[in-house]
Structure 1
Amino acid sequence: MNDLSLGMLVGILVLMLFLSAFFSGSETALMALNRYRLRHLVKLKHKGAIKAQRLLQRPDRLLGMILLGNIFVNTVAASVVTIIAIRLYPEQESNVLIADGILILVTLIFSEATPKTYAAVRPETLAFPSAWVYVPLLRLFYPVIEFVNIFVNLLLRLFRIDVKAHGMESLSKDELKVVIAEAESFMPARYHKMLMGILDLESATVEDIMTPRNEIVGIDMEAPLEDIVNQIKTSPHTRLPVYKKSIDRVIGFLHLRKVLVLINHGDFDKQMIVSLLSKPVFIPDTTPVHAQMVKFKSEKIRIGLVVDEYGDVEGLVTLDDLLQEIVGEMITDDTMVRVQGDGTYLVDANITVRELNRFMQWELPTEGPKTLNGLIIEFMETIPEAGTSIKLHGYPLEIIKRDGMAVKLVKFLPEHSTKPS
């Protein structure tokens, strides 16, 4: 190297700095690749992505190759700078230290910080082209890299890390929720809610989404026939449970379309209703939503009664309820949640906690009571009077209306309220 001209030495130095920048930037780019986008590009047969994925399957070999190259070019650069400094100032040895200091600064700016920052911001731009370079380099220097990795892997095993078992990491449910939340701006709100609903299916049970017992609309066979006929004609529901005196004595479900064609017959009576009933379906309250959906589909039924461990009816669930858990409840401002001009929210206390959380993007606890009314009563340990103000798990509210048995209407104050998108 002492026989080379000064111009050639400067050229070698520039080349080494460029190679150092390549090794540093490509390392950051390859490690910063979005693994899920990489999988997508591989499925699309993107050649650069295919090579990058193969390299990342063994990161110990890839990093060994990059570090080997980086150490080599930085060592050569330091040697060249020393030779240049000695040639220019043969009698001033201190200038060698100054030259090395300048080299460190130049390397830091042009060969480390700049390419790594660029690679972190736009990893694919640098990662895919560099993958074409590393594949042949790995084959060329395979013996050296394997020799180094023997010692590296032995050291890692002391920390119980098996590099060969390394693979693409999978996302947990909570992590996947974060990904979907961050992607909200790239999809319609209804699709975003559907994806969130699907993720919640694993933890939701039929008890979480059922119509509670006190809201079940059914036909009491002990009522006068005239009242039953009037109820059938005016009912907004397609199917109704039929019982005797109490909902705990259900005898079947009635499909109203079947009975409407007979209702005007002169000989219509209660016995005709009984003959049209389908067998009642009872569902344990701990049944997961996704399991019940499969059961509804396999048994071709659309409605069932939810019962507790003692066999008492707790509520009613339909196939529509299960589907709405995925699609998202169709809550509008003029039904369960109403936005006021002062920024407050009037909320029907019969709303389920899950619906309220989804609509308001809150985090009220869902492990205990299923409705807002139940959550307030559990929190207060009594049925609060109208005008009572509390802070329910961090959310300030005021009781607007109650009856003797339950809270009916609540006003949430704007301190923690965030208007849903």
Structure 2
Amino acid sequence: MANDRSCRGPAPSGWRKRLCRLLGGEPRDKNQLLEILRDAERRVLLDRDGLSMIEGVLQVSDLRAEDIMIPRAEMVTVRRDAALEDIFAVAVESSHSRFPVTGEDKGEVLGILLAKDLLAYCSRANTRPFNIRDHLRSAIFVPESKRLNVLLKEFRSSRNHMAIVVDEYGAAAGLATIEDVLEQIVGEIEDEHDFDEGAFIFKRGKGEYTVKARTSIEDFNDYFGSELSSEDVDTIGGLVVHALGKLPVRGERIEVEGFRFTVLRADSRRVHLMSVRASTAVERGGDQSGSRSR
């Protein structure tokens, strides 16, 4: 306890300060800091949601734009020469608010079109001809290596909500939104187009799904027509943890029998939500509203 007494009173200096830091249990790296925070949560000094957000903040600086971006092949875009009727169809089907405008292919992004700029053309009273160039807004381009904490700061300063992620040759490799970054901190941001209360599997696009970790493997296999084993675990979250051999953090990915799982929400105790890309799975038609638990 001598070291304890020597560190009390006025702030120590010199060798005493270094000794107090060594013996006082101060965290020396991020892992030690997280362990202290998790211990605080176990002692009910910090609630689980607060711990999860702090973990997310600490992890954001380790993630890059390429870790969260929507790949180019899955970007919902409009061509610069597309007819207004075709653009309306894309906007209605996707329910997105922003669309990259491309040239000859998706790698050539010319700007961003906002869905709200199309509202004036919904009225029959509007006879002004539509020219997409009149509504084209500048896109911001970031490299795949851009750290998410820096990207979030740029989103805030520029007031943009979408960035085009480019590869080393300057072609679009994907896109990232401010919502994608914030979800790494606060977890999946669900809106009226996301899960209803009882849904466990939600189809977001061709081959892309969001799945609750507590979805049973039986229900997952029934939905996708797959044959994932339930011998060792009962849920999809348990399957991912078992395959990784550890409790994953947000952003971790693993492939299991033709499915690529990406952790979207997790805390220090369990996985909550995952993105699933079905590369070889049998997709079921008509399951746009999600799968319910039995």
What is the TM-score normalised by the length of structure 1?
0.45
Structure 1 residue 267 and structure 2 residue 127: aligned? yes
Structure with higher RCO (Cα < 8 A, 6+ apart): 2
1:173 to 26, 30, 33: 30
Name the structure 2 match of 1:329.
188
Q: How does 1:29-44 map to 2 (within 5 A)?
A: 31=4
Which amino acid is 2:127 matched to?
D
Q: How does 1:151-170 map to 2 (within 5 A)?
A: 162-163=15-16, 165-168=18-21, 170=26
Name the structure 2 match of 1:128.
none
Which secondary structure state, in structure 1, belongs to the residue aligned with residue 116 of structure 2?
Answer: helix
Query: Could you report, residue by residue, the CA deviation over 1:170-226 in whole angstroms, capped at 9, with x for unpaired residues?
Result: 421111111122223423332221100011122111111112222211222344432
Give, in whole Å, the separation in 2 of the partners of 1:269 and 1:245.
23
Query: Could you report, residue by residue, the CA deviation over 1:94-133 in whole angstroms, capped at 9, with x for unpaired residues?
Result: xxxxxxxxxxxxxxxxxxxxxxxxxxxxxxxxxxxxxxxx
Structure 1 residues 264 and 408, CA gap change in structure 2 (3 angstroms): farther
Give, in whole Å, the separation in 1 of the partners of 2:17 and 2:49.
42
Give, in whole Å, the separation in 2 of the partners of 1:313 and 1:162.
54
Which amino acid is 1:240 matched to?
F
How many angstroms does 1:268 deviate by?
Answer: 5.3
Give, in whole Å, the separation in 1 of the partners of 2:85 and 2:181.
34
Give, in whole Å, the separation in 2 of the partners of 1:361 and 1:184.
20
Name the structure 2 match of 1:345.
235
Post-superposition, which runs of at least 4 consecutive aligned residues in structure 1 deviate over 6 A?
Answer: none
The answer to whether the 8 A contact 1:232-1:260 is kept is no
List runs of 5+ in structure 2 lacking aligned partners. Answer: 202-209, 219-229, 260-275, 283-294
Give, in whole Å, the separation in 1 of the partners of 2:249 and 2:51.
20
Structure 1 residues 244 and 55, CA gap change in structure 2 (3 angstroms): closer
Q: How does 1:13-412 map to 2 (within 5 A)?
A: 27=1, 31=4, 53-54=8-9, 57=12, 162-163=15-16, 165-168=18-21, 170-171=26-27, 172-185=29-42, 186=44, 187-265=46-124, 266-267=126-127, 269-271=129-131, 273-330=132-189, 333-334=200-201, 335-338=210-213, 339-340=215-216, 343-346=233-236, 362-363=247-248, 371-373=253-255, 406-408=279-281
Give, in whole Å, the separation in 1 of the partners of 2:129 and 2:93.
18
Return the structure number with greater strand share: 2
The answer to whether the 8 A contact 2:79-2:101 is kept is yes
Which secondary structure state, in structure 2, belongs to the residue aligned with residue 287 of structure 1?
Answer: coil
Give, in whole Å, the separation in 1 of the partners of 2:249 and 2:87.
41
Give, in whole Å, the separation in 2 of the partners of 1:253 and 1:244.
12
The answer to whether the 8 A contact 2:109-2:172 is kept is no
The answer to whether the 8 A contact 2:102-2:111 is kept is yes
Which amino acid is 1:316 matched to?
L
Which amino acid is 2:212 matched to?
V
How many angstroms does 1:245 deviate by?
Answer: 4.0
Rg: which structure is higher? 1
Query: Could you report, residue by residue, the CA deviation over 1:3-34 in whole angstroms, capped at 9, with x for unpaired residues?
Result: xxxxxxxxxxxxxxxxxxxxxxxx27x63x9x
Structure 1 residues 372 and 224, CA gap change in structure 2 (3 angstroms): farther
The answer to whether the 8 A contact 2:72-2:107 is kept is no
The answer to whether the 8 A contact 1:195-1:326 is kept is yes
Give, in whole Å, the separation in 2 of the partners of 1:200 and 1:346.
23
The answer to whether the 8 A contact 1:209-1:317 is kept is yes
Return the structure number with greater helix share: 1
Structure 1 residues 164 and 285, CA gap change in structure 2 (3 angstroms): closer
How many angstroms does 1:312 deviate by?
Answer: 2.2
Give, in whole Å, the separation in 2 of the partners of 1:371 and 1:246.
28
Query: Could you report, residue by residue, the CA deviation over 1:318-338 in whole angstroms, capped at 9, with x for unpaired residues?
Result: 111111111123587433235
What is the TM-score normalised by the length of structure 2?
0.63
Give, in whole Å, the separation in 2 of the partners of 1:316 and 1:408.
25
What's the RMSD between the two structures over aligned residues? 3.7
How many angstroms does 1:316 deviate by?
Answer: 0.6
Give, in whole Å, the separation in 2 of the partners of 1:234 and 1:220.
16
The answer to whether the 8 A contact 2:68-2:176 is kept is yes
The answer to whether the 8 A contact 2:106-2:172 is kept is yes
- Give the fraction of aligned pairs with identical amino acids, expressed as a percent: 24
